[in-house]
Structure 1
Amino acid sequence: MRNLNWGVDSAAAVTEELHQCVIDNFGRPDFWGRYLSTIPNVSEGLTPDEYRYIQNQGIKLMPIYNNFQAAVGSRAGAVAARNAIFKSRQLGIPEGTFIFANVERFFEVDSEWIVAWVEAFYNSPYRPGIYADPDEGPFNEAYCQATNMSNLVREQAVIWSAEPEPGTTTKRNAPRQFTPSRPDCEANVWAWQYGRDADECPIDTVLMENRLYRELA
């Protein structure tokens, strides 16, 4: 069995109340995925105080960049990466941490954007991650094209897969097998959002391989 870590992600800020809700209903998360930007009606952006609170609980941070609505074109990919890197520096996120682009299944996506995102990170102190759905939407085709265009995509990028969705569970009852959906080409799929929109608390549940967990903030 692979060495796996269990955690959650949330659009809402990690408060004492939300943290306790997760502990009471699901268990203690090893890591917490949080968005770097405030998007009205979508996400609360991570603040320095919240980041300190997360660290003080002994929880690792999984940073997510979501200040874009389409993943098309090399210029847009480079701009998104530079903005994500800037925000990460601003928050004091340690060098070497993976930063995940939030590519939703309903987004337009092309290979040029993916290549630019990865290449911009290659020349930065951080590492490129992508949250995406390999089953629904255009990501699968775009990603496989990107791996043909740039070896860096295949070598450097880590995928956080949104499929399949068996549903949220407690830490104790998390899937024993790590079986996220993967693109139809070589890909480093190291994380899996296996449950969305829990009833008990406003969180999703996530499994990741320990090799990614070690590279979180």
Structure 2
Amino acid sequence: MSEIKQHHVLTYISEKIKSAIADAKIEKQSENITIIKDGNDQIHLEQVTDISSNITIQITDKKEILYSEDLLEPLQNIEEGTESQIELHGALRSTTIVVNGLSIETDFVFQAVKDCFDTLSSSYQFVKTISKQINGLTISFQFGDHKFQLVVVNDADNILITCDLNEVKDIKVKKTIEGDVSKVQQALNKMFKE
């Protein structure tokens, strides 16, 4: 049986994750799919190349092993240390890595949104994620007894947060949330885009 030949980007990223997780094993399933096994858990990596030859590595990590092993930041800067391998370095720099439906930067933005609202008031509580699209997500929050939704979009140049306050009937609470959403948006743009 001949060995499955994979693109050097998928191979490099798979090896990087495997080396960070003790006793993990790599199973190449096809040219574009690798499974990293960690005991009974697994991380699924799939390389998708679009018609412009842009590479996206889509990672499904149901047990959130990458989070518990603090691998998101090293994955975001995956090209570091490959400068001497010019072709690989360039390919890694232009590769988009998506973990559980979000680009890594958007995942960091999501964590920062929760942290910012926690810092503004202990009355804010994250409820759940409603939907994810690589560079954006819709999340449900609560301010005291008032539920509302946020749509967070992480564009190349800025972060935009819009809120749906249809369920909030109290005018004062609405104004407070709107003001805080504006503050959080400014803080995130300063953190990630400036």
Considering the TM-score relative to the shorter chain, is it more than 0.5?
no
More strand by share: 2
TM-score (norm 1): 0.26
Greater relative contact order (CA < 8 Å, ≥ 6 in sequence): 1
TM-score (norm 2): 0.28
Is the radius of gyration larger for structure 1 or structure 2?
2
